Each structure stands twice: as C-alpha cells, then as structure tokens.
C-alpha cells in the first residue's frame, strides 16, 4: 500500500524530510555544493548514538566557503549522502536557527541539509524517536511498493519512525511515513518507489533553492 501526502506546499522552510534518491539527483544538478566537516549538534551534545561525521550539506550558491564550510565536487557530496544513509540518518531541510548559524549565506539561494536523528537534534527532540515531533514529509511526496515482495522485512527494520509494517502482500505505510527513503535503499529487490511530482510547489522550491534546473525524483 502507498503513502501520499497531499497537503499544500505552505511553509516549506520547516524541518522537512527529503528522500535520498531525490537529494542525490539535486546534488548532481545543483549550482554549487558545500559540506561541513562535522555535525555541530552531535558535537555539542556529545551524541552517544551517532558519530560527529557526517556534517551538513548545502546546495546552491548562497553558502560561503569559510571555516568548517568548504565547496566540494558532485562525487564528494554523493559520498556524504551515502555515508549518512549507511548510518540510517535522515536528511532534513534545515532552516532552523541552529543550522543557519553555521553558514554565512543568502537564504534565498541555498538548500541546507542536516543528516540527523531526533536524539541530538535541538530543533526536533521528541520524548521518543517514534513520536516524530517536528519531522514533516514534503507536500505531495508519494511512496509505494511495486513488484513481488519477498517479505524479508528489511524495509520495516530500516524505518526510523516505525511507519511501515509487513502485510501479506508487502509493506503497508502508516500516515506517519516521512518519506526519508531509507526503506527504499534497504529493499534488496528495489521494489519501493518514492518521488515528488515535477510540477509541485515543493519541487519548484527545491530546484530554486539548490540552483538546479531540473531533476528526476
């Protein structure tokens, strides 16, 4: 069964989760890419669950290479998302003050991405990880299963928000699905699909802020 958020694209500058497949495509077509060495939040809080690396990713020309921020190639940026995905961190659009404080930037020409879990994120720290306080799916993002499912349950085990369970015909997505894409990455048969309509307000927002001209979700 599929999960689809049909809410409007109002107030996109909030802690929205962005799926890894879409983020990787934005990286390839962005006008510029910047990385920080470490996660300031995990470093400050001495996070016991996840390493200080990887730090933030910023797409677009608004960021400035200074201090811990450096401009990187497409390959280096993709290595960052691969490492974050391996650690099962979620990619979050980071327009909160704690994230913006580490960048000298033009907010209108940047898409800052924080790789985090709620345990050490000051912007969104619920009592329990599965409560998902403050973690929001991109409007109009869809997730669905295709093909023949082997019921291996790897997708369910990979979900940090426990938003899918295994049914007799495959995964069933709960309304709390945030569209992070970790389930799709975990599926050995590549049976999970996640995307965003090209004409949606959310897609136009992502393209504009990252300086990308197009992308395939």
pLDDT in tens, the chain (217 residues): 445 444 433 467 667 899 999 999 999 999 999 998 888 778 777 888 788 788 889 999 888 777 788 999 999 999 999 999 999 999 988 765 444 444 556 777 889 898 987 666 665 544 444 444 456 889 999 998 988 899 999 999 999 888 988 988 889 999 889 999 999 999 999 999 999 999 999 999 999 999 998 765 5
Q: Are 84 and 115 in contact (CB under 8 A)?
A: yes
Coil, helix or strand at residue 17 = strand
Helix axes 74-86, 20-29, angle to 10 degrees: 170
Q: Please report the domains of the chain, with CATH numbers, ordered by start residue.
A: 3-210 (3.30.70.20)
User: Tokens 């928000």 label which residue?
Assistant: 161
pLDDT, position 136 = 80
**Which residues are CB-contacts of 192 (< 8 A; sequence separation ≥ 6)?**
143, 144, 145, 146, 155, 171, 183, 184
Give, as one character, the DSSP assignment of residue 37: S
């Amino acid at each position: 069964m599929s999960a689809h958020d049909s809410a409007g694209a109002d107030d996109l500058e909030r802690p929205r989760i962005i799926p890894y497949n879409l983020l990787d495509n934005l990286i390839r077509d962005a006008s510029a890419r910047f990385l920080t060495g470490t996660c300031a939040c995990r470093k400050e809080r001495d996070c016991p669950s996840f390493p200080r690396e990887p730090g933030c990713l910023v797409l677009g020309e608004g960021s400035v290479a200074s201090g811990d921020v450096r401009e990187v190639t497409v390959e280096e940026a993709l290595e960052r998302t691969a490492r974050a995905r391996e650690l099962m961190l979620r990619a979050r659009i980071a327009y909160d003050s704690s994230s913006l404080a580490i960048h000298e930037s033009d907010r209108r020409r940047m898409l800052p991405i924080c790789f985090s879990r709620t345990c050490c994120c000051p912007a969104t720290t619920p009592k329990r990880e599965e409560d998902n306080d403050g973690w929001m799916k991109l409007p109009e993002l869809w997730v669905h299963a295709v093909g023949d499912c082997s019921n291996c349950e790897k997708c369910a085990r990979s979900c940090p928000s426990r938003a899918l369970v295994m049914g007799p015909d495959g995964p069933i997505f709960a309304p709390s699905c945030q569209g992070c894409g970790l389930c799709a990455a975990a599926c050995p048969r590549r049976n999970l699909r996640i995307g965003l309509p090209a004409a949606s307000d959310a897609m136009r927002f992502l393209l504009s802020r990252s300086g990308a001209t197009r992308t395939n979700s």
